[in-house]
Amino acid sequence: MNLKGRNFLTLKDFTPEEITYLIDLAAEYKDKKKKGILHDTLRGKNIALIFEKTSTRTRCSFEVAAHDLGMGTTYLDPSGSQIGKKESIADTARVLGRMFDGIEYRGFEQAIVEELAKHAGVPVWNGLTNEYHPTQMLADMLTIREHFGHLEGIKLTYMGDARYNMGNSLMIVCAKLGMHFTACTAKEYFPDAALVAECEEYAKQSGATITLTEDVDAGTKDTDVIYTDVWVSMGEPEEVWAERIAKLSPYKVTKAVMDNAGKDAVFLHCLPAFHDLKTKIGKEQSEKYGFTELEVTDEVFESKQSLVFDEAENRMHTIKAVIAATLGAVL
């Protein structure tokens, strides 16, 4: 398998074999890291990390992964560069491509990261756009595989805003890898019909299924993985909170939902999560709308079924695999 020179913008661009290869590679890097075996085979290379939205996991994963591989990193924060204000994406790409061996981009429309990749001349990695979050998918799949021992045939139910980056990306990866994806949410939060049709084509090849339902009982029955994400994503306006809370509250992940799922079901969340009132935004919004938890109850989040911190750790190992594979590192 040779992914050297490839961009990593959406999993739509990758075959099931390539996705599996990246998960396998991540598992190998994880094993090396745990055993304390150095793997700094990309010494002398440098990467740029552009973040137009905030981040904890993705930024730290890119930085730690790059340092473990022996590379240098430069972080460009949402305000500290010329990007988009005084300099176009195409010009930025051509400048950074002269200095760096790879570029990570987190920001708004997918079209921006596509434009960056078109002009950079070095691999570009999508660290989250409005439409997709592909590095998150590899971490989620590694976590599920570690737990269940396989991916094919696993039933995954996504609850909440299924028409944004997380819902879209989970539907794509499940369809590619032969998993059974259910979006369990209010109709207006179902994924875009064109994307569903595209994923139905992948599903024909892999044996996956795609289900869209508003029925919580049917949508979560006997499922293996219950997955949710925040109801209001980064960059969305304040005005959407009221409607999201009204429409998505029936799709909160509660103990009743977990009990209705399969006997060995697990809970996943890309994080950050509003499972209590210990955050500034959570507290502010709770004063307005009177909730104590949003997309998941604290009880589920803190339960043994919750694998969210294994999942967060796996961000680093999987991002390392993406950097290494696309820059042609020798394991």
Those residues whose C-beta lies under 8 Å from the C-beta of residue 84, and which sit 6 or more positions away, are 52
**Which of the ranges 71-79, 186-194, 226-234, 290-298 carries the binding residues for ligand NVA, by CB under 6 A?**
226-234
With CB under 6 A as the contact rule, the residue among 154, 230, 266, 268 that binds ligand NVA is 230
Does the annotation count 6 as an active-site position? no
Does the annotation count 106 as an active-site position? yes
**Which of the ranges 52-60, 82-90, 210-218, 296-304 carries the binding residues for ligand CP, by CB under 6 A?**
52-60
Q: Are strands 155-159 and 124-126 parallel, antiparallel or unpaired?
A: unpaired
**Which of the ranges 55-63, 91-99, 289-297, 299-307 carries the binding residues for ligand CP, by CB under 6 A?**
55-63
Residue 165 within binding range of ligand NVA, rule CB under 6 A: yes
Helices (H), 42-184: 57-68, 89-99, 110-120, 134-148, 165-176
Residue 115 within binding range of ligand NVA, rule CB under 6 A: no
173 contact choice in ligand CP, ligand NVA, none (CB below 5 to 8 Å, kind-dependent)? none
164 contact choice in ligand NVA, ligand CP, none (CB below 5 to 8 Å, kind-dependent)? ligand NVA
**Bridge partner list, 47:** 73, 102
Angle at 194 between CA 192 and CA 200, to 5 degrees: 105
SS3 state at 215: coil
**Which of the ranges 106-114, 138-146, 172-180, 228-236 carries the binding residues for ligand NVA, by CB under 6 A?**
228-236
CA distance 179 to 119: 35
CB 178 within 8 A of CB 152: yes
**The three-state (H, E, C) secondary structure of 56-90, written as one string:** CHHHHHHHHHHHHCCCEEEEECCCCCCECCCECHH
With CB under 6 A as the contact rule, the residue among 26, 33, 47, 58 that binds ligand CP is 58
Q: Which residue is nearest to ligand NVA (CB)?
A: 233
Q: Cα 187 vs. chain centroid, distance in angstroms? A: 23
CA distance 254 to 232: 19
Residue 297 within binding range of ligand CP, rule CB under 6 A: no
Does the annotation count 150 as an active-site position? no
Token pair in block for residue 225: 């993985």
**Of 133, 244, 269, 317, catalytic:** 133
Task: Kindly list the residues in this chain that would bind ligand CP in the complex (CB under 6 A).
Answer: 55-58, 128, 136, 270-271
Task: Kindly list the residues in this chain that would bind ligand NVA in the complex (CB under 6 A).
Answer: 128, 164-166, 229-230, 233-234, 270
Q: Provide the annotated active-site residues.
A: 106, 133, 136, 229, 270, 315
